[in-house]
Structure 1
Amino acid sequence: MNNNLTELTTYIGTRESMGAVFSIVRSNHRVIMDFGAPFIPEQKPHAVHDDNWIKDKIALGLLPAIDGLYPKKYLEGSDLIPAEESPIHTSVFVSHLHLDHMANIGALAPGVKVYLSETARSLEMALEDIGQGVDSVGRDYDIFQPDQCIKEGDIRVTPIINGTLGHQMYGFLVETDDLKVGYTADLSLAGECPELVKREMQIFKDRKVDVLYCDCCNFTDDVLTRFFGTVDPDAIVPDEKVPEGMLDYMQHYEKLEQLYSQKKGLIIFNYYEREIQDADWIMKWAEKYARKAVFSPDAGYLIYKTATGVPNVYPDDRWKDEKWYQELLENCPVVSLEDIKKEPDRYYLHLKYEDRELISQFPNENGLYIHADGYPFTSGEIRNLKEKAKLAGFRFASYDDPQYYQHGYPSQIEFFVQQIDPKVVIGYHGRHPERIRVYNGYNLVPERYIRYCLIDGRLVKREDL
């Protein structure tokens, strides 16, 4: 057995609608790509961190059971090796700030380096200020720069920016002497920055990656049947273009703008507050249509700390004793809810889902409630929100559009894979990873927690060597 072989292990992400969590180990050094959690609507954040919270999450399948990652304090009675006693040096790289890619980074011991982009770190710090950061043992985060290689022993990691959602989105090129891995993170050639995705594709192609971890979110039965009349992946025709009748990111947002363009009536909205770009769009539309966008204090604080514009906010005494709230009021324009009620035609008002009962307090003549791409996520909660809006006399609209998919269209994903032509493709972020085709290599759905090594162009279980 060659003890110097690089080992590749997948823990989370195959046959799940979330980001991958996988490790690359060479000698006594390890890098891990992303560290998110599956979305479970019923799962609530820990109100109090007792000494069992990490063990509880592992037992529930919300944290991967990996040696050398978690603080000893929280592993008493566990068979896992704590980070303080591990011979392995570990760094974790986070692609972007969507929770399915990074919800668990706060559980990592302070001695484990966690790398974020500079913009993502600023957003996470702001989230922690307002009590909406990740469950954490109390730690800071290191910063990576685009295209700047970071070395962990003999492992080389190069971050490649491929989008601006999630407060900048990155893929990664990971290289050792015997293995090259490309990780796409969330992938769409129809997204906000297709030129960056094509650049990432070219880098993976030029570096001749052996293994490609590729987003397969939309390789579902209903999507394939819609486009190709069958669930057979052989029917997918690789194509760089957006499928006929579908929209790209800019076309989608041009369509959404129509919702915000009405002249009369109050427009109430909610949105995914981590998606700072959505707030930027709303503020831009407000200026265009001679309105003011007014945000809840906590959402406004995130914008104030991370965006180029200064948001309008409304006061809320629930936060009056918080330091961040005082800073917000000192630096941002304040608009009272009473002012909005007096002149509803002049405003877009942000109301969070938990404040939905307030809808009925506002003038409803020509009123519109817009549910953007954020919480609530489940169909039952969305129905409840729609009913609340209608009972209050507001029309209801949603960002959900059958003509637009945020993750890549299957034909474009196949084009991406075909251009790179890796030896092995591993699908993640979807229920059907086996449906991604590769032309001169093969598709692998790896067994979880099993170590693989690249031998003659194939990933072979370490235990079989």
Structure 2
Amino acid sequence: MRITVYDGAGSIGGNKIHILENDNGLFLDFGMNFARYSLYYQDFVGERPSRGIYDLWRLGLIPKLNIYRSDLLPNDLKAEISTYNRIPINAVLISHAHLDHVGNVAILHEGIPMVGSLVTMVILKALRDTGHGSHLGMGIPYYSPKQPKQGNPAVLESKKTKTYKWRPLFLTESPNHESIEFLQKRVEEDLGK
């Protein structure tokens, strides 16, 4: 067994711990490192979602690995990222719904399942539904895929239609009917959009 701490050691936040056993890998959290983020972002200055993970990659705020959502790779970064290791990730185990533990989870490759408690997943879904978790890394359990902008492929934009992709989620406990219904429903359905 090999344990690699990609971030979070000696700081508050940024927990990104990878456990590898044979060809199976598991991340324990994939959060934002508040100290490192504060070097570049504060108050009303934040990440540029229209550039996907470009800024996070260039500023060293995420590990240099080939493990990120394909729709968040701007054309001017794809070739570089493809030269980095693609480590095995069978799932991300989310300890709880604080940004220092989940703030970068949603930028991980879209096929990587998320595992967490019912309460954690309901909180993350509520944050996504209300827009309080609207920064790039909070698209859990669903997100709007991005595509290169016509005429400027270095810029990424969400499709004009309300098309969402859902991530594979696994709960550590049996949910009741109401929580299943909540986790599967988009807020736009209630608003008639």
| TM-score (norm: length of structure 2) | 0.61
CA distance in 1, matches of 2:14, 2:68: 20
Equivalent residue, structure 2, for 1:21: 16
Counterparts of residues 287-302 of structure 1 (less than 5 Å): none
Q: 1:14 to 1:33 in 2, by over 3 A?
A: same
Equivalent residue, structure 2, for 1:72: 70
Counterparts of residues 4-403 of structure 1 (less than 5 Å): 6-18=1-13, 20-39=15-34, 40=38, 42=42, 44-46=45-47, 49-50=49-50, 52-67=51-66, 69-75=67-73, 76=75, 77-78=77-78, 79-81=80-82, 86=86, 88-133=88-133, 134-135=135-136, 136=139, 138=144, 139-145=166-172
How much does 1:108 deviate? 1.2
How much does 1:90 deviate? 3.0
CA distance in 2, matches of 1:123, 1:31: 22
Amino acid at match of 1:80: I
CA distance in 2, matches of 1:118, 1:14: 27
Give identity over the alignment, percent: 23
Q: 1:37 to 1:9 in 2, by over 3 A?
A: same
The answer on whether the counterparts of 2:30 and 2:103 sit within 8 Å (CA) in structure 1 is yes
Equivalent residue, structure 1, for 2:159: none
How much does 1:26 deviate? 2.0
Equivalent residue, structure 2, for 1:194: none
Q: 1:93 to 1:45 in 2, by over 3 A?
A: farther
Q: Deviations over 1:370-412 (max 9, x none)?
A: xxxxxxxxxxxxxxxxxxxxxxxxxxxxxxxxxxxxxxxxxxx
Query: Radius of gyration: which is bigger?
Result: 1
Secondary structure of the 2:4 match is strand
Q: 1:89 to 1:96 in 2, by over 3 A?
A: closer
CA distance in 2, matches of 1:17, 1:87: 25
CA distance in 1, matches of 2:189, 2:27: 33
The answer on whether the counterparts of 1:93 and 1:115 sit within 8 Å (CA) in structure 2 is yes
List runs of 5+ in structure 1 lacking aligned partners: 1-5, 149-304, 307-321, 328-465
The answer on whether the counterparts of 1:116 and 1:141 sit within 8 Å (CA) in structure 2 is no
Amino acid at match of 1:57: L
How much does 1:87 deviate? 7.1
List runs of 5+ in structure 2 lacking aligned partners: 145-165, 175-181
**How many residues matched?**
146
The answer on whether the counterparts of 1:18 and 1:38 sit within 8 Å (CA) in structure 2 is yes
Secondary structure of the 2:19 match is strand
CA distance in 2, matches of 1:71, 1:7: 25
The answer on whether the counterparts of 2:5 and 2:17 sit within 8 Å (CA) in structure 1 is yes
Secondary structure of the 1:62 match is coil
How much does 1:103 deviate? 0.5
Q: 1:37 to 1:87 in 2, by over 3 A?
A: closer
CA distance in 2, matches of 1:64, 1:22: 11
Secondary structure of the 2:81 match is coil
CA distance in 2, matches of 1:323, 1:144: 24
Q: Deviations over 1:118-156 (max 9, x none)?
A: 11111111111111225235443512315x9xxxxxxxx
CA distance in 1, matches of 2:107, 2:121: 16
Amino acid at match of 1:140: R
The answer on whether the counterparts of 1:11 and 1:21 sit within 8 Å (CA) in structure 2 is yes
Equivalent residue, structure 2, for 1:243: none
How much does 1:80 deviate? 2.6
| TM-score (norm: length of structure 1) | 0.28
CA distance in 2, matches of 1:25, 1:72: 23
Q: Deviations over 1:333-358 (max 9, x none)?
A: xxxxxxxxxxxxxxxxxxxxxxxxxx
